[in-house]
C-alpha cells in the first residue's frame, strides 16, 4: 500500500498530488474526451469525471446533481461504466452542501476516506483485489520551544487547560504546527502567542514519535531551541495561566522533568546545546524539483 | 487554536487524547450523572453523552437512534440542553452504518471534522466565540532508505507507477510510514517489501517538510541510513520495475540527483555519513510519563 504512494525519487508525493494540482485540467480534458462514444453507455447518465495516472476515477464535484434520485441513477450508471473500463479507485468529494448525497454514496459501496470542515471525501475500490488507495494524513506535528536568555533564564509557562491545569508545573511553550506551516515558523509563532516574546529559530534538537495520540493518529513532537529577541512578557490570557523568565537551575530541577526519562532527556540536550556540546538539525531552503515552491530540509553540520 | 491542543509539559497530547482513552469510563459516569434532574429537559430526549475537560460534549455513538426522525428530535433537544449548560464543542462520531444520520447533523449545524473508512466525526461549536477545537491530522510521513553494502553499492529501485514510471531513474526505496508505525520500522519494512533485503536501522540523517502534498496536507520525509543484513534481491512485482545493487559512484552521478538542490543535499549527507563526517539522529526508547507504552525519541550524540 504505502509503496505505491511514495513514488517520487527520494520524495514522498502520493499519487493524488499530481492530480489534485491540475484537477481543473483533468476535468477539462475528460469532458472533451467524454463527448465521444461511451461504448453503449448513455453519456448524460455518466457523472463528469477525470482519470488519474493510477487508472483511478476522480468525480468532478462541480458536476454533481443536486437531488438524490438523479444522483443515485447517475452514480449506478457511472460505476457500471467505470467497472467495464476496468478502472480501479473512485474518488468522490462531496462539499458540505451536498451532504444529502452521502447516504446514497455509502449505499453504493463507498466508504469514508477523509474529511475537512467543508467537504467529505469518499472512495470506492472497484477491482476484486485489495485496495491500494493511499490512507489519509497519519500524524499531527507539535513543537516545544526552549528559549534561554543571557541571564540563564528559561521562558516558562503554566497552562490554563489540559492535564497540567492547576499542577503548578512550569513548562516550555508548546503547540501544534498547522497544516501548511513550517516547523520553525510554528515554534516562533507559539512562543509569540503564549508569551509575547520575539524569537529567532535556531535548531531542532530532537523529536519524539508517539502513537494513538489524537483520534488514534500518531504524533511527531519536535524539541526546538530559539534565541530570544525581546524580553518583555505579554501572556496569552485564554490559554496561559502564568508566564515568566525562570532560572534554568530551578526550571530543570522540577520533579516533573526529573522523574520522566524522556522529559529529562529533552532537557539534557537543550542544556548540552546551550553549552556547545550538542548539534541539532537546522532548516535549509532547497528545491526538490517536484514542486514549484522551495521547501525546507532539516539537517546537522557536515564535519 | 493550536496552543489549546498541546497542553502537556513538553508533550503535545491534544485534549481529546485523555478523553478518548477512557471514553467508556466517561460514558458510564455520564449515564449515572444523567439519571438525576436535567433542569426541566426531558431525560429521554437527550442523547447519551460524556463531558470532557474542556467543557465539551462527546455523544456516545452506541446510544444513537437508528431512525432519522428520532435522531432529529433528540439532537435538537440535546443541543438546546447543552447550550443551556454552556457547553462548548460537541463531538458526534457516526459509524458507517449510521450514514443515514449525516444529513440531519449537517442541517443541525454540524460540520465535518475528520473521517476514517469506518466512521465520520462531526463537530458543532456552541458558543458565539471562535472555535478552539483541534484540527485533524496535518501531516503524512514518508521515508527514503539509503542502504550501502561493503562493496560501495547502493540498493536502488525503479518504480512501476507514479511520476518516475518509465524514466529509467534509479532511486532509494521510499514509502509512507503507517499511522501507528515507528519511523525506523517503516524504513526497514519498505526496504524489505520493495527489495526483499533485510536491514538494520541506523540513523535519520535529515528530513524535508513539504506542503500541499496529499489532499492539501503537509508531508515530512525522513532520509534514513540502514545497514544491509542480507544481499539477495527479491523485488516486489506490483510496485517495483527493477531493483539492484548499483555502484554508489554511478548512482549519485545520475542527473536526476545532481540537478535538484534538495536531492543533491540528501545524497551528500548520506555519503558524508558513510565516510564518518556526519551524525544524524538515532531512536531511543523512553517513557514520557503521559502514556503507558514507551515511545521513541530521536536525537544526535552529545559530545
In a domain, A214, yes or no: yes
Same domain, residue pair A110 and A224: no
Burial of A62 by CB count in 10 Å (0-12 exposed, 13-18 middle, 19+ buried)? Answer: exposed
Interface test with B, best of A89, A140, A154, A260 (most B CBs within 10 A): A140
Percent of chain B with pLDDT over 70: 85
A234 reaches B (C-beta below 8 A): no
Q: Looking at the domain assignment, is residue A3 inside a domain?
A: no
pLDDT at residue B258 above 50?
A: yes
Reference B248, options B275, B230, B221, B223; nearest CA is B275
Looking at residue A221, what DSSP letter applies? E
Same-domain status, A147 and A288: yes
This complex has an ipTM of 0.81
Measured distance CA(B220)–CA(A204) in Å, rounded: 14
Minimum distance, in Å, between the CA of residue B169 and any CA atom of chain A = 8
B278/A181 touch (CB, cutoff 8 Å), yes or no: no
Q: Report the C-alpha gap between B162 and A18 in whole angstroms.
A: 9
Mean pLDDT per 10-residue interval, chain A, length 303 residues = 32 38 54 51 79 88 94 94 94 96 97 94 94 88 97 95 82 93 97 97 97 88 98 91 96 89 93 96 88 89 93
β-sheet bridge partners, residue A148: A154
Q: Are strands B57-59 and B89-95 parallel, antiparallel or unpaired?
A: parallel
Cell of A130: 485489495
Is-contact A110 A124, C-beta < 8 A? yes
Q: Does residue A24 form part of some domain? A: yes
Identity of the residue in B8, B18, B260 whose CB atom sits nearest the CB atom of A287? B260
Residue A95 sits in the same domain as residue A242:
no
Domain-located, residue A8: no
Report the pLDDT value the prediction gives residue A226, as an integer from 0 to 100: 98
Q: How many CB atoms lie within 10 A of CB B168?
A: 10
Per-residue pLDDT for B20 more than 90?
Answer: no
Q: Are residues A101 and A144 in the same domain?
A: no
Whether residues B143 and B104 fall in one domain: no
Of chain B residues 157-216, which have a CB less than 8 A from chain A? 159, 161-165, 169, 171-172, 174-183, 186, 190, 193-194, 205-216
Residue with cell 466508504: A111
pLDDT at residue B7 tops 90: no
Which pLDDT band, with edges at 50, 70 and 90, does B278 fall under? very high
Would B134 be classed as within a structural domain?
no
Q: Is the pLDDT of residue B37 over 70?
A: no
Say yes or no: B158 and B288 in one domain. Answer: yes
Name the residue among B33, B28, B85 with its Cα closest to residue B56: B85
With pLDDT > 90 as the criterion, what percentage of chain B qualifies?
68
Determine, for residues B289 and A159 on separate chains, whether the beta-carbon distance falls below 8 Å: no
A158 plus A285 within the same structural domain: yes
Domain that holds residue B285: 139-298
The CATH number of residue B14's host domain is 3.40.630.30
From B15, B259, B288, residue closest to A260, measured CB to CB: B288
Provide the β-strand partners of residue A175.
A143
In this structure, the answer to whether residues A114 and A191 fall within a common structural domain is no
| pLDDT in the model for residue A260 | 86
The domain that contains A248 carries what CATH number? Answer: 3.90.79.10
The reply to whether B148 and B289 lie within a common domain is yes
Minimum Cα–Cα distance from A180: chain B residue: B211
Q: Which chain B residue shows the shortest CA-CA distance from A110?
A: B117
B166 vs A180, which has greater pLDDT? A180
Phi/psi at B14 (nearest 5 deg)?
Answer: -85, 170
Residue B124 gets the label, from left (phi > 0), alpha (psi -120 to 50) or beta, of: beta
- Give the pLDDT score at A259: 83
Write out chain A residues lying below 8 Å of B259, CB-based.
289
3-state secondary structure A49-115: EEECCCCCEEECHHHCCCCHHHHHHHHHHHHHHHHHCCCCEEEEEEEHHHHHHHHHHHHCCCEEEEE
Kindly list the distances between the CA atom of residue B288 and the CA atoms of A50, A260, A286, in Å, as whole numbers in the listed order.
47, 6, 34
- Residue from A16, A66, A153, A193 carrying the catalytic annotation: A193
More confident residue, A258 or B228: B228
Q: Which grid coordinates are listed for A76?
A: 449506478
* Domain-ending residue, one of A65, A96, A125: A125
φ, ψ of residue A246 in degrees (nearest 5)? -125, 135
- Say which DSSP state B296 is in: E
Residue B161 or B256, more confident: B256
Partner-chain contact B10 A263, CB within 8 Å? yes
Q: Do A174 and B9 touch (CB under 8 A)?
A: yes
Set B18, B181, B193, B241: catalytic member: B193
B125, B158, B193: which is the final residue of a domain? B125
- Mean residue pLDDT of chain B comes to 86
pLDDT in tens, B49-79: 998 877 899 999 999 999 999 999 999 999 9
Query: Are B297 and A223 in contact, with CB atoms under 8 Å apart?
Result: no
The domain boundary residue, chosen from B96, B125, B154:
B125
Residue A277 has what pLDDT?
96
Q: Are residues A156 and A255 in the same domain?
A: yes
**B94 interface with A at CB cutoff 8 Å:** no
Residue B172, pLDDT > 80, answer: yes
Is A274 touching B (CB cutoff 8 A)? no
B 19-78 residues inside an 8 A Cβ radius of A: 20, 53-54
Residues A214, B169: C-beta atoms closer than 8 Å: no
Strand partners, A145: A224
Chain A contacts of B171, Cβ < 8 Å?
Answer: 9-10
Cα–Cα dist A175/A142, whole Å: 6
Concatenate the DSSP letters of all residues of B242-283 into one string. EEEEEEHHHHHHSHHHHTSHHHHHHHHHHHHHHTTS---BEE
Q: Which residues in chain A are closer than 8 Å to B239, comparing Cβ atoms?
A: 3-4
Domain co-membership, B105 together with B40: yes
b/e for B118-144, b at 16 or more Cβ within 10 A?
A: ebbbbbbbbeeeeebbbbbbbbbbbbb
Whether residue B237 sits in one domain with residue B170: yes
Residue contacts between A and B (CB atoms, under 8 Å): 447
Closest-CA distance, B204 to chain A, in angstroms, reads 9
Cβ burial of A224 (10 Å; 0-12, 13-18, 19+) is buried
User: Any idea what DSSP says for residue A237?
Assistant: T
Residue identified by cell 475537512 is: A116
Reply yes or no on whether the pLDDT at B31 is more than 90: no
> Into how many domains does chain A fold?
2
For residue A128, indicate whether it is catalytic.
no
Amino acid at each position: 500500500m504505502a509503496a505505491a504512494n511514495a513514488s517520487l525519487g527520494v520524495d514522498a508525493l502520493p499519487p493524488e498530488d499530481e492530480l489534485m494540482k491540475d484537477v481543473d485540467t483533468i476535468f477539462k480534458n475528460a469532458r472533451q474526451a467524454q463527448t465521444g462514444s461511451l461504448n453503449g453507455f448513455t453519456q448524460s447518465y455518466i457523472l463528469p469525471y477525470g482519470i488519474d495516472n493510477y487508472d483511478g476515477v476522480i468525480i468532478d464535484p462541480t458536476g454533481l446533481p443536486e437531488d438524490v434520485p438523479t444522483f443515485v441513477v447517475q452514480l449506478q450508471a457511472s460505476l457500471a461504466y467505470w467497472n467495464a473500463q476496468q478502472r480501479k479507485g473512485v474518488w468522490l468529494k462531496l462539499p458540505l452542501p451536498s451532504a444529502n448525497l452521502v447516504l446514497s454514496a455509502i449505499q453504493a459501496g463507498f466508504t469514508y476516506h477523509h474529511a475537512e470542515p467543508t467537504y467529505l471525501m469518499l472512495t470506492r475500490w472497484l477491482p476484486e483485489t485489495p485496495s491500494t488507495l493511499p490512507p489519509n494524513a497519519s500524524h499531527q506535528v507539535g513543537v516545544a520551544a526552549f528559549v534561554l536568555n543571557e541571564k540563564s533564564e528559561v521562558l516558562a509557562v503554566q497552562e490554563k487547560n489540559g492535564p497540567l491545569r492547576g499542577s503548578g508545573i512550569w513548562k516550555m511553550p508548546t503547540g501544534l504546527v498547522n497544516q501548511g506551516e513550517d516547523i520553525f515558523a510554528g515554534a516562533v509563532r507559539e512562543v509569540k502567542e503564549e508569551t509575547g516574546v520575539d524569537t529567532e529559530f535556531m535548531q531542532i534538537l530532537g523529536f519524539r514519535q508517539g502513537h494513538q495520540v489524537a483520534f488514534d493518529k500518531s504524533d511527531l513532537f519536535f524539541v526546538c531551541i530559539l534565541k530570544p529577541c525581546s524580553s518583555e512578557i505579554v501572556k496569552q490570557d485564554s490559554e496561559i495561566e502564568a508566564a515568566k523568565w525562570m532560572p534554568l537551575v530551578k526550571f530543570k530541577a522540577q520533579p516533573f522533568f526529573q522523574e520522566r526519562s524522556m522529559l529529562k532527556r529533552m532537557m539534557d540536550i537543550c542544556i548540552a546545546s546551550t553549552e556547545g556540546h550538542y548539534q541539532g538539525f537546522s532548516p535549509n531552503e532547497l528545491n526538490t524539483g517536484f514542486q514549484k515552491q522551495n521547501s525546507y530540509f532539516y539537517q546537522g553540520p557536515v564535519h
